[in-house]
Amino acid sequence: MKACLTPQRDSRLLDVLLFAVLILLLPGCSGVLESNKPAREVYLLQAPAITPLPPAGDAVKLVLAVETVPGLDTDNIQVLHSNARLFPVANAHWPDNLPEVMRSLSRRVLADSGLFQNVSVGTLARPGEWQLELELQAFYGLQDSSNTTTAVLMELEGNLRCGEAGGVISLDSRIALHSSSLPDLVAAHQQALSEVLQALPSRIQQACSP
């Protein structure tokens, strides 16, 4: 008598065989799941120390908004080539996207300046409050035609409204690089940031002086 397999038994046997094959393959799967990419490197930007200024007025409150131009809304550390190509430095990142980083650092600097009773982040100012809208227009390394990064450029522009006064505030810093190493590139970004933010409170004071 010949043994005969029913369709149900065929299906069960196939399931068992497939399960056995999967078990045998598991030890070899770990290599597939492991990434060969270098570790993600995150670099912290610090708010610079500020020399306090006289208060801008009686209990003046400032509402701060910070945005970036297209291309800078990222956490990548970037370099701008002479051919206008903006590209990220491999595996090098800021702790958050630049708008969030700049909001935090700018608010901290302005709060420490002594000019204001309070500095908040937002887009709408109430009557009597001052408003500053900042736009980060450049924050990257500059690379020449030979692919050498020669400097770091930061440009910050803002619209300031303080009662009947105000106007446009423009700040920039260009830091020369003498090395193409990533630590030096990050240090130059920090130096440019510190120069611009340290100058921001006095520019506000000048623009809003009666």
pLDDT digits (tens, 9 = 90+) for 58-94: 778 999 999 999 999 999 999 999 999 999 999 999 9
Helix-, strand-, coil-residue percentages of the chain, each rounded to 5: 35, 30, 35
Residue 191 has pLDDT above 90, yes or no: yes
Q: Is 134 inside any structural domain?
A: yes
Q: Is 4 inside any structural domain?
A: no
Most confident region among 36-45, 52-61, 184-193 by mean pLDDT = 184-193
What CATH number is associated with residue 125?
3.40.50.10610
* DSSP structure class, residue 145: T
| Percentage above 70 pLDDT, the chain | 81
Q: How far apart are CA 19 and CA 153, in angstroms?
A: 59
Q: How far apart are CA 188 and CA 77, in angstroms?
A: 12
Residue 57 has pLDDT above 80, yes or no: no
**Mean pLDDT for all residues in the chain:** 86
Q: How confident is the model at residue 29 (pLDDT cuts 50, 70, 90)?
A: very low
pLDDT digits (tens, 9 = 90+) for 106-143: 999 999 999 999 999 998 888 889 999 999 999 999 99
Q: Is 186 inside any structural domain?
A: yes
- pLDDT score at 35: 46
How many domains are there within the chain? 1
Q: How far apart are CA 72 and CA 102, in angstroms?
A: 11
Q: Is 29 inside any structural domain?
A: no
- pLDDT score at 31: 38
Residue 206, Cβ density class (10 Å: 0-12 exposed, 13-18 middle, ≥19 buried): exposed
Q: Is 139 inside any structural domain?
A: yes
Two tokens, residue 79 = 């370099």
Two tokens, residue 47 = 């708010």
> Beta-carbon neighbour count of residue 70 at 10 Å?
6
Global pTM value = 0.80
CB 166 within 8 A of CB 203: no
Q: Is 23 inside any structural domain?
A: no
Average pLDDT (175-192) is: 96
Structural domain containing residue 155: 41-208
